[in-house]
């Protein structure tokens, strides 16, 4: 056998081995099972359990609603299902009614009425209250003036506001709220001396107030109809 034939045979054998090697690895790779999208790799050494997608945090507007509930009263703090149904009845009678806006307005009215009473501002109280409530405030202010006393009170904070009753009857909507607040109360005599209370020690006050409004009225303001201690 000539040297040329031997060299050609060796080259052919080498190329054949390379081809087999490449094809063999490709075949083995193609026969490996591929895990599906829903097949985890639990149990395999070093495998990582698939992570569930993070659930986005719900904003107030995205909170799931209870069946049949008006979204405008969904986030309102109420004390009973009866009060919740009453709010729904008001919302049905007055499509402009916004329970959350009412709560915020009631908080402002609570502060304004208290501060007006403490200062003896009868004109402001007359605009905020109905006649019987105004008259009770007026009598207390007159008695205070006659005694030569003044109130140096301060509303420190409103801790909590909840609706305890609500409803609409004969075109009049009524909502009763319970306010829990901290008040620093001081009574001074005609010379300015403290005769009762302290500005350093706030006391907890619980008040139950009822507001009313004619649902078909063009006036959006609610009037304080009744006050009571909680």
Distance CA 167, CA 2 (A): 115
Nearest to 87 by CA among 186, 215, 189, 198: 215
Residue 39 backbone phi and psi in degrees, to 5: -105, 115
Please tell me the distance from the alpha carbon of residue 220 to that of residue 226, in angstroms, as a whole number: 19
Interval 64-70 mean pLDDT: 43
pLDDT at 37 over 50: no
pTM, two decimal places: 0.68
**So what's the pLDDT on residue 78?**
86
- Taking only the tens place, the pLDDT of each residue in 129-185 is 999 999 999 999 999 999 999 999 999 999 999 999 999 999 999 999 999 999 999
């Amino acid at each position: 056998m000539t040297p040329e034939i031997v060299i050609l045979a060796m080259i052919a054998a080498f190329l054949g081995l390379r081809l087999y090697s490449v094809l063999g690895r490709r075949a083995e790779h193609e026969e490996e099972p591929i895990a599906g999208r829903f097949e985890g790799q639990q149990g395999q050494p070093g495998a990582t359990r698939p992570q569930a997608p993070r659930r986005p945090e719900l904003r107030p507007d995205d909170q799931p609603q209870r069946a049949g509930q008006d979204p405008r009263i969904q986030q309102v703090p109420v004390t009973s299902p009866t009060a919740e149904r009453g709010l729904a009845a008001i919302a049905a009678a007055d499509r402009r009614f916004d329970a959350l806006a009412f709560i915020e307005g009631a908080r402002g009215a609570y502060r304004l009425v208290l501060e007006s009473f403490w200062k003896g501002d009868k004109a402001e109280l007359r605009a905020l209250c109905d006649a019987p409530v105004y008259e009770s405030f007026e009598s207390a202010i007159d008695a205070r003036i006659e005694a030569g006393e003044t109130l140096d009170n301060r509303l420190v904070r409103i801790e909590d506001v909840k609706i305890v009753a609500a409803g609409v009857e004969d075109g009049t909507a009524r909502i009763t709220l319970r306010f829990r607040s901290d008040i620093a109360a001081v009574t001074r005599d005609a010379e300015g001396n403290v005769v009762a209370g302290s500005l350093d020690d706030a006391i907890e006050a619980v008040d139950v107030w009822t507001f009313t409004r004619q649902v078909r009225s063009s006036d959006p303001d609610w009037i304080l109809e009744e006050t009571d201690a909680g």
